[in-house]
Amino acid sequence: MSHAPNTIVVAVDDRPEGQLARQKAMDMAVQHNAQLILVHVINLNLHHYIDRTNITFRSNLAAKRRQMLVDYQHMCYQEGGFYPKAELAFGQPEKILATDIMEKYDPQLIIVGTRRKKGIRQWLKGQNDRRLSRRVPCDVLTVQAEKH
């Protein structure tokens, strides 16, 4: 990164790597006095075992994820002294980050969390990170959590 970011987007979830990414993004936003955007994308393809058109399922899942974002906003206020913006979307995370979020916020940095994997799982997961970095005109920082 050639200059300090004005806007940082972080993909968050409730897994350890998502929390680690949020913490890293918050620290960087404080350090650079940057705007922070928390983004959670509900990928319904991961919920293939449930009817994706089920309104009750979607609304319950969305309510839980909205509450997670509110909790993360409060954590940022308690730990960093500011409330970040928060976005909840449905779709493929890579696509939402590369299109909708890029167009709306024009970030200079996107931070995503990942787990350390070995073998083919490492290669497959790395493909998602590399595809995102090729699709966006800004830097992408991958924060790795330890494998459990």
What predicted TM-score, i.e. pTM, was given to this entire model?
A: 0.85
- Write the pLDDT tens digit of every residue in 74-110: 999 999 999 999 999 988 888 999 999 999 999 999 9
> 49: pLDDT confidence band, cut at 50, 70 and 90?
low
Instruction: Tell me the domains of the chain and their CATH numbers.
Output: 7-145 (3.40.50.620)
Give the DSSP H or E segment for 40.
strand 35-42
- The mean per-residue pLDDT over the stretch 113-120 comes to 64
Sequence-distant (6+) residues with CB within 8 A of 53 are: none
Residue 33 has pLDDT above 90, yes or no: yes
Give me the pLDDT at residue 74, please.
Answer: 96
Cβ contact 39:8 at 8 Å? no
Residue 129 scores a pLDDT above 80: no
